[in-house]
Structure 1
């Protein structure tokens, strides 16, 4: 059982510890110290639901519904492109830390909505969790649920580390230029991800 747990932990960390739309948003919220706990909890809960659904065998259903994945894909393209556009708009407009914050989501519901969209409108999350992790889990036989717990643990460790660890960068981001660089990076990342979704797989 212990090998299955660590196999799940390692596999999941390998998938989530990467620069992506969701991680970039959590990082930004952490730097701003705005709604970090709710955002982190939504990320952790979403991953857990998807991972255990994959362990339960839902991945096979997803693979058999390519139309659904295509719909999610194009909604995701539109959302990522729009998010990238607004990040680019902030990056091109000089201002203070407060000004940088003013162009972003300020309310709890807006932050949660963005978190949910960045998570659930990304078709790759279904392939990573439901299909890939689900397949790896079911290859563990009786240890598949232990594998799932290990995979969910990875999210429970990573997102708080990212969200609250980002606070160490808040001093650096007290400078307007630093926010412009971050927003420029986020803009390029989001538009690139949108292009990959649109013209990739």
Structure 2
């Protein structure tokens, strides 16, 4: 009886530790300045479809992390040319977004601060942008499919516990990011504040886009 109890305790602790490792590792990779996080912040501040955008980001992470755990990472590693193409396309898309943010900064009259509700685009456009920023960014695959997938598989039978922990980190982070940014909405009641935010977004997006294209 005692040996059975100890065996179950060992199993439970193994899975819990794997989940905790996934939570910490996932947070370390997900919490970073990137186009996806910047977009969630902007949607949160404007109050435009915050929860749907968060849902897209979290579900995308769950799919990618799970795919990495299931072995997709090896397939991606075997096709470096596909990664190079993704870097070029993703970099070009980020430059387009940088140009749009720069235009909003130069023409604040067209920004959310002057639109009443802050919803300058429709729901599907907002979700489409969130999907593009996630799936066209090659670093997303490096962090989720390759890195987290490889680490998950190193945990053997507890690999899915690690995966659950990493997915939980994504959920917590994007909820904190989007809903936390929403609380900053009063700060962005003026056109000047939006110009500053959009200028920063344009600079970061442009830098990331150039880096991706240069590395393609």
Looking at structure 2, the residues matched to 91 and 67 of structure 1 have their Cα atoms a distance apart, in angstroms, of 36
* Kept after mapping to 1: 8 A contact 2:40/2:54: yes
Q: How does 1:28-43 map to 2 (within 5 A)?
A: 28-43=42-57
* Kept after mapping to 2: 8 A contact 1:47/1:155: yes
RMSD (CA atoms)? 1.6
Select the residue among 165, 170, 179 that pairs with 1:155: 170
Q: Show CA shifts across 1:55-90 (max 9, x none).
A: 111100000011221221111011100000010111
2:179 corresponding residue in structure 1: 164
Runs of 4+ off more than 3 Å: 99-102
1:62 corresponding residue in structure 2: 76
Deviation for aligned residue 1:94: 3.6
Looking at structure 1, the residues matched to 214 and 89 of structure 2 have their Cα atoms a distance apart, in angstroms, of 14
Does residue 102 of structure 2 align to residue 98 of structure 1? no
TM-score by length of 1: 0.95
In structure 2, do the counterparts of structure 1 residues 42 and 13 end up closer, same or farther at CA, with 3 Å as the change threshold? same
Deviation for aligned residue 1:37: 1.1
* Kept after mapping to 1: 8 A contact 2:108/2:194: no
Q: How does 1:21-32 map to 2 (within 5 A)?
A: 21-32=35-46
Looking at structure 2, the residues matched to 34 and 149 of structure 1 have their Cα atoms a distance apart, in angstroms, of 29
Q: Show CA shifts across 1:147-193 (max 9, x none).
A: 00000000111111111111111000001111000000000000000
Aligned residues between the structures: 200
* Kept after mapping to 2: 8 A contact 1:26/1:162: yes
Bigger radius of gyration among the two = 2
2:156 corresponding residue in structure 1: 141
Gaps (5+ residues) in structure 1?
Answer: none
Gaps (5+ residues) in structure 2?
Answer: 1-14
1:76 corresponding residue in structure 2: 90
Does residue 122 of structure 2 align to residue 107 of structure 1? yes
* Kept after mapping to 1: 8 A contact 2:54/2:175: yes
Looking at structure 2, the residues matched to 101 and 184 of structure 1 have their Cα atoms a distance apart, in angstroms, of 21
Looking at structure 2, the residues matched to 9 and 60 of structure 1 have their Cα atoms a distance apart, in angstroms, of 23
1:192 corresponding residue in structure 2: 207
TM-score by length of 2: 0.88
* Kept after mapping to 2: 8 A contact 1:105/1:111: no
* Kept after mapping to 2: 8 A contact 1:100/1:176: no
